[in-house]
Amino acid sequence: MTAPSWLFCSVQLAFLFSARTENCKVSSLKKSSIAGQPFPLQCQAAIGYRSEIITYSVSWYKNSNETSLLSGKNSRIYQHQDWIWFLPLTLEDTGIYHCIISYQVVGSGILGEDPDRKIPTRNSLKCTRVNINLTVFKSSENWCDNHKEDLQKLLIYIPLSLGKFKMITCPLPKFPANITFNSVEWHKDCKQIQSNKEFHLKMQNLIIASVSAQNAGLYRCNATFSFMGKHYSISRNILGFLEKSEEPESIVGKRPEILYPQNNSIEVKLGSPLLVDCNIYDTEDSTSDKCWKVNGTLVNQYYNSNRIHEGIETKSSQGKKYCLYTVNLSFTEVRSEDYDHPFVCHLSGIAAAYIILRPPAPDLQGYMIGGLFGMVFMVVAFSFIYKIFKIDIVLWYRSIFQTIVSKEDGKLYDAFVLYPKPNKESQNHALNMLVMQILPDILEKQCGYKLFIFGRDDFPGEAVVSVADENIKLSRRLIIIIVPESSSYSFFEHASEQQIAVYNALIQDGIKVILIELEKIQDYTGLPESIKFIKQKHGAVQWTGNFTKESQSAKTKFWKKVRYHMPPKKQPPSSKSSFIMPSLPSSPERG
């Protein structure tokens, strides 16, 4: 490494810090392009080379000297020496970019007879800062329908002379690398141009052998190229106008005038930077004041800050006598007080036009999609919760709306209870305890139901068939209790009673069956077909408690299931017994 290079590297960090404190030569540039297209941005600083040896480094920042603009070969923003490439541009790239070039200039002399050996005679460390206002415009899906908007933004004017030869070159940007454009297509007034007697296509050029009045109009060139395995497309719009008219009257109208803004509004995010151009078409020797005002006061005087300020007026030639003047209005940060406030571009004594900033419209599609997903999630969640806590929810609902869910149906009993007579003495004791003591204590005393229990509520000497037939018709539910040994003997002591009960339960309207297993029954093959059908249609509630009367409660899991299948109560129980409010959820308990 040479002495100058070593010296430069050793002090580079310190110098960059001082450069970022505005101790640099400052210049400003203005650039604009269309979103969705690649765009190269160069830090065009004047650095003298001559006979000096120059070493330099470039740092890029956006909107603030404190935030470095990170880039890389695999990122959308790629830095190459004093260039940055946007591959491609987005609307968010609008802003003020700062590039700081720190360089070392070393004078040289010839050492001996070797012209390649130089000795430093002096050295100096210098800095140049370039501020670049970049405006990115939204691209139009159909450029044919957007002529005026193109004119306000990036339309290029080309004069045409009747009867003369004219070659129009596609004004493609210069890239700092060996970029080869694969193809260039030309369109005029939205129709593709092919080589013929009127036009000739040659590389990036469109050649008109002899200009006619029909050749005036809007041209567009599209070029494609490849870079690092990706394909990109660039387009440019050109307005060809007859030179004898000296101006494209068919599009821009009378002169002078403000082309943009046009008393319109633009959407901009809160806190984002913004650059707005006032484009004015006027004579080349115009002395009219062109400026931005707020409430009748110049912007720079009204705000007296760097957050909102007016840029320097620039102009570009548009024919022999006319120029396109541009005065920009720069926002380093858009605040809420800037919304719905007219910023007026003035062409003194001739015209004025304003622009109003508004917050972006809400993304209704996003809200609709989010709302739809939210509704689907809620439906799934409620379905899942209801499936788990269905019994508790139904019991709670009945307790709150018990006068609503019930209706007069002419029934006398809430349930008719049928049960077998087991062979085993232990099962007989357990079954009698359940039917005669526990079942009435829970359903009648605690819950207020009225039961008809065969063997308790019938009178001695009554015909079994008549009792069963009459009282089942007066009941809202039929409770059938079975034990595992039911298949080894006649299911009921009186077969005719069984037939009547099952007939009424399955055939007549309004009667539902509650099947209770005293113990878990694995195999139903030995049971009557009617019981199999009830099991398949309604399922069964399995008793899992003990047969101690004092330990029973309507809040347990078993009794909740039985109460769920029972009809809702219209009236609460008497004052001697308390109605049981369900709990959500309850832990599994026995009995």
pLDDT of residue 582: 46
Query: May I ask the CATH class of domain 257-358?
Result: mainly beta
**Domains of the chain by residue range:** 25-107+121-137, 155-243, 257-358, 413-565
**Of the residues 243, 247, 310, 497, which is catalytic?**
497
DSSP for 23-46 reads -SEEEEEEEEEETTS-EEEE----
Angle subtended by helix axes 464-473 and 495-506, to nearest 10: 20
Residue with tokens 């005026």: 148
Instruction: Judge contact between 197 and 229, C-beta under 8 A.
Output: no
pLDDT of residue 330: 92
DSSP for 217-257 reads EEEEEEEEEEETTEEEEEEEEEEEEEGGGSS-HHHH-SSSE
Instruction: Judge contact between 309 and 303, C-beta under 8 A.
Output: yes
pLDDT of residue 49: 43
Verdict on whether the full-model pTM lies above 0.75: no
* Residue whose C-alpha is closest to residue 470's, from 508, 512, 420: 508
pLDDT of residue 225: 86
* Residue whose C-alpha is closest to residue 76's, from 92, 88, 84: 88
Contacts of residue 563, Cβ cutoff 8 Å, sequence gap at least 6: 395, 443, 447, 554
In CATH terms, 413-565 corresponds, of 3.40.50.10140, 1.10.150.120, 1.10.260.30, 3.30.1330.10, to 3.40.50.10140
In CATH, 25-107+121-137 is 2.60.40.10: yes
CATH number of 155-243: 2.60.40.10
d(CA 453, CA 433): 13
Would you say the C-alpha torsion 289, 265, 234, 74 has a positive or negative sign?
A: positive
pLDDT of residue 120: 47
Task: Name residue 475's beta-bridge partners.
Answer: 413
* Residue whose C-alpha is closest to residue 89's, from 140, 158, 38: 38
Task: Name residue 293's beta-bridge partners.
Answer: 298, 344
pLDDT digits (tens, 9 = 90+) for 200-218: 888 888 989 888 888 888 8
d(CA 443, CA 554): 8
pLDDT of residue 141: 61
Catalytic residue flag (residue 243): no
List of the chain residues with pLDDT < 70: 1-23, 44-55, 64-68, 70-74, 105-124, 140-153, 176-178, 244-255, 319-320, 349, 402-408, 422-427, 461, 463-465, 485-510, 548-551, 570-591
Instruction: Judge contact between 296 and 354, C-beta under 8 A.
Output: no
pLDDT of residue 150: 47
Is 155-243 the same fold as 25-107+121-137?
yes
Structure tokens at 34: 């269309």
H/E segment holding residue 430 = helix 425-433
pLDDT digits (tens, 9 = 90+) for 230-272: 888 888 888 888 875 444 444 444 457 888 888 898 899 999 9
553: left (phi over 0), alpha (psi -120 to 50) or beta: beta
